[in-house]
Amino acid sequence: MLDYASLSVLAAVVREGSFERAARILHVTPSAVSQRIRLLEESIGGALIIRGQPCLPTETGRRLCQHVDQVRLLEHELKSAVPVLGEDEPGRVPLPVAVNADSLATWFVPAMTAFATTSPVLMDVAIDDQDHTAEWLRSGTVLAAVTGTAQAASGCNSRPLGAMRYLATASPGFIARYFPNGVGAGSLAQAPSLVFNSKDELQNRWARRLCHRHVELPRHTLPDAHAFVAAAVAGMGWGMHPHKMIQDHLQAGTLVELVPATPLDVPLYWQQARAASSLLDGLTRAVSTAANAALLQSSY
């Protein structure tokens, strides 16, 4: 019989990345968390946590984390359907998901809000690059994710959402300064670019497609979607921006495409754990509806 109290502690350590942060949210001491994990590992007969900064689950730990998150959802639904199983009304259940920053800044929040305001959940949203959110699923940290990966993670289903269109833009002053003779490998190697973080490859992908070879781009790092746009408007650098985020700037002329008619369309997918949960299915419907309205659908 699995010790679900200890499994909840395991899930907290994985989600928070450390024993200390897990202890704070569980309102216990770090030593109590450590003891729970040690006893659980002894009962399982193997390591569940790779101690480090951050703490990461082993493969067995990942599977147990996914299991306990799914059990929470199913238990919540069972108590709602059979009130005699719980003395109190079932509370809100945490629902961990991962999403890329540009989706969160454009179309995902309305979908999440429409779902969360009518469902007994507490959304727990992690942000990462769309090419890396699937890793959160594989680690067992989340139950669903917006990802750029079509191939489903183990134990998950994958469905296409559409494509987000990105445009390479900069301020008119920046273009006049760095690209007076046009945009090419030489000028791109001198002009500062903007990236969200070290995982952000959109600028490199666009430059490679334009120049037919790799270009080493100088870059500023700005891990905030709205600051990213503001920095481009101010002339700090050029970057790949979601079309929907910069439409007003394009119309006003405060941002201009580096090379007209060279969009980069990034397909997105929704992956979710295969849990027989109406809550998770409800979130999937809300996400699919919002994506269908906001993303490019014709070729994806």
- What digits encode the pLDDT tens for the residues 163-188? 999 999 999 999 999 999 999 999 99
Two tokens, residue 269:
């997918």
- Average pLDDT along the chain: 90
Residue 158 has pLDDT above 70, yes or no: yes
Contact 198, 131 (CB under 8 A): no
Two tokens, residue 85:
């199983």
Rounded to an integer, what distance in angstroms lies between the CA atom of residue 98 and that of residue 270? Answer: 10
Collapse the DSSP code of 256 into the 3-class scheme (helix H, G, I; strand E, B; otherwise coil) and give the result. Answer: strand
Each domain of the chain, given as residue ranges in start order, spans: 94-300
Arch. (CATH architecture) of 94-300: 3-Layer(aba) Sandwich (3.40)
Rounded to an integer, what distance in angstroms lies between the CA atom of residue 46 and that of residue 40? Answer: 9
**Strand-strand pairing, 144-147 and 156-170:** unpaired
Rounded to an integer, what distance in angstroms lies between the CA atom of residue 97 and that of residue 5? Answer: 22
- Looking up tokens 């946590």, which residue turns up? 49
Please give the backbone phi and psi of residue 98, each rounded to the nearest 5 degrees, phi first: -125, 140
Q: How many CB atoms lie under 10 A from the CB of residue 204?
A: 17
Kindly report, residue by residue over 219-251, the tens digit of the pLDDT: 999 999 999 999 999 999 999 999 999 999 999
Rounded to an integer, what distance in angstroms lies between the CA atom of residue 201 and that of residue 193? Answer: 11
Q: Comparing 66-80, 92-106, 154-168, 216-230, which segment has the lowest mean pLDDT?
A: 66-80
Two tokens, residue 194:
């903007």
The pTM (predicted TM-score) of the whole model is: 0.79
Q: Which residue has the higher pLDDT, 55 or 81?
A: 55
Two tokens, residue 293:
């309205």
**Strand-strand pairing, 93-99 and 219-221:** unpaired
Please give the backbone phi and psi of residue 262, each rounded to the nearest 5 degrees, phi first: -125, 60
Collapse the DSSP code of 196 into the 3-class scheme (helix H, G, I; strand E, B; otherwise coil) and give the result. Answer: coil
pLDDT at 80: 62
pLDDT at 289: 96
